[in-house]
């Protein structure tokens, strides 16, 4: 029985001013997925973690991805998948995308890479649809491609890899629940033109900063005047964390995905560790349980090990 193991990384979507269009992959945490090819059209799923996710293929994020691959191949094959998740569901760092993208890349690999990267992204987006009701690619794309991904358009799909310096990422995941649907619900349908102009100045600056390796420009551009002022009220301690992390030397950061995790970018490890200390201090005061990561941008994406 042909089988492989992949590591599928966490991701930060909604990269500050890049709401809905910009995401990056993390070195840590990552899920470990073992996938085997079957000669019967069925999907068998085993969980090797304590998250208790559904094992029926139709209700499992990775399962629906594999079903869509099977459908494309007219059910001539099946899959057996064992998932060991390390990215906690609901954390805001791309847990469902890791399951979906990992399954799609692993399946394509077992099938001798018959599908293009765009097709693999499309398969994986079926998993995001199950998880959040929306086929979005801002976690899927960086998870598969690694690095920083721009999703210029969803229809038609247009994904652009943005070169970036080797930045450090500090993430704090407060153990509270922010439902993606709620986080979307509270957004306003209309925004002020003057705010939108500020935002597109910042996104242009951020892309230029990444591509020029200009840390200062990245820092100046990491400002979100539209989404963050609304969503940050769902995250206890957000303003204090952001202020203190910048004082500790972080280039900037914001809400990861639709929260509750908060991330900060730093140019070196020492700063990233100082930022972690600041995050811990804030959450120790609130009494909310939390988990932190100090990691870097993963430039490889899902990888076969």
Active site residues: 128, 180
Determine which residue in the list 4, 80, 119, 201 makes contact with a copy of itself, applying CB under 8 A.
201
| Interface pattern 105-144 for a copy of itself (x via CB under 8 A) | ----------------------------------------
CA distance 292 to 279: 8
Whichever of 66 and 203 has its CB closer to a copy of itself, that residue is 203
Q: Which one of 48-56, 76-84, 158-166, 288-296 is the stretch in contact with a copy of itself (CB under 8 A)?
A: 158-166
Which lies closer to a copy of itself via its Cβ, residue 153 or residue 286?
Answer: 153
181 binds a copy of itself (CB under 8 A): no
Q: Is 19 in the site for a copy of itself (CB under 8 A)?
A: yes
Q: Please report whether residue 233 would count as binding a copy of itself according to CB under 8 A.
A: no
- Label residue 22 exposed, middle or buried (CB < 10 Å: 0-12, 13-18, 19+): buried
Is 219 a residue that touches a copy of itself (CB under 8 A)? no
Question: What letters, b where the CB count within 10 A reaches 16 and e where it falls short, cover 242-264?
Answer: bebbbebbbbbbbbbbbbbbbbb
Q: Does 217 bind a copy of itself (CB under 8 A)?
A: yes
DSSP codes of every residue in 40-63: SS-EEEEE-SSS----SGGGSHHH
Tell me the CB-side half-sphere exposure of residue 87, using CA atoms within 13 A: 31
Count of chain residues binding a copy of itself (CB under 8 A): 40
Among 50, 189, 287, 305, binds a copy of itself (CB under 8 A): 189
**Residue 199 lies near a copy of itself (rule: CB under 8 A):** yes
- Rounded to 10 deg, the angle between the 95-110 and 117-132 helix axes is 140
Residue 250's φ and ψ, nearest 5 degrees, are -60, 145
For residue 253, the minimal CB distance to a copy of itself (Å) is 18
Residue 151 binds a copy of itself, judged by CB under 8 A: yes
Neighbours of 208 (CB within 10 A): 14
By CB under 8 A, tell whether 185 contacts a copy of itself.
Answer: no
Give the nearest distance from C-beta 186 to a copy of itself in angstroms. 12
Main-chain phi, psi angles of 162, to 5 degrees: -105, 115
Using CB under 8 A as the binding rule, whether residue 251 contacts a copy of itself is answered as no
Site membership for a copy of itself, residue 207 (CB under 8 A): yes
What are 11's two structure tokens? 């991701």
Look at phi and psi of residue 102 and say left if phi exceeds 0, alpha if psi is from -120 to 50, else beta.
Answer: alpha
16 sits near a copy of itself (criterion: CB under 8 A): no
Q: Kindly tell me which of 210 and 238 has the beta carbon lying closer to a copy of itself.
A: 210
């Amino acid at each position: 029985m042909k089988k492989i193991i992949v590591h599928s990384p966490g991701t930060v979507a909604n990269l500050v001013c890049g709401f809905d269009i910009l995401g990056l992959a993390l070195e840590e945490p990552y899920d470990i997925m073992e996938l085997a090819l079957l000669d019967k059209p069925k999907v068998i799923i085993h969980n090797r973690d304590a998250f208790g996710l559904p094992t029926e293929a139709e209700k499992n994020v990775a399962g629906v991805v594999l079903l869509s691959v099977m459908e494309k191949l007219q059910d001539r094959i099946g899959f057996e998948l064992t998932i060991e998740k390390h990215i906690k569901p609901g954390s805001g760092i791309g847990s469902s995308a890791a399951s979906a993208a990992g399954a799609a890349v692993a399946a394509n690999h077992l099938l001798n890479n018959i599908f293009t990267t765009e097709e693999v992204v499309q398969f994986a987006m079926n998993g995001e649809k199950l998880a959040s009701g929306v086929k979005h690619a801002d976690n899927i794309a960086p998870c598969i491609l690694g690095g920083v991904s721009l999703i210029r358009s969803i229809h038609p799909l247009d994904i652009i890899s943005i070169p970036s310096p080797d930045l450090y990422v500090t993430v704090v995941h407060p153990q509270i629940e922010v439902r993606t649907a709620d986080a979307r619900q509270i957004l306003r349908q209309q925004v002020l033109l003057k705010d939108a102009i500020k935002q597109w100045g910042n996104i242009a600056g951020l892309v230029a900063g990444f591509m020029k390796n200009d840390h200062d420009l990245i820092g100046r551009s990491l400002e979100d005047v539209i989404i963050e002022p609304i969503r940050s009220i769902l995250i206890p301690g957000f303003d204090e964390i952001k202020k203190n992390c910048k004082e500790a030397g972080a280039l900037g950061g914001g809400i990861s995905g639709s929260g509750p995790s908060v991330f900060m970018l730093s140019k070196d490890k020492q700063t990233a560790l100082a930022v972690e200390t600041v995050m811990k201090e804030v959450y120790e005061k609130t009494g909310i349980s939390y988990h932190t990561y100090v990691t870097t941008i993963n430039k490889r994406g899902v990888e076969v090990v």
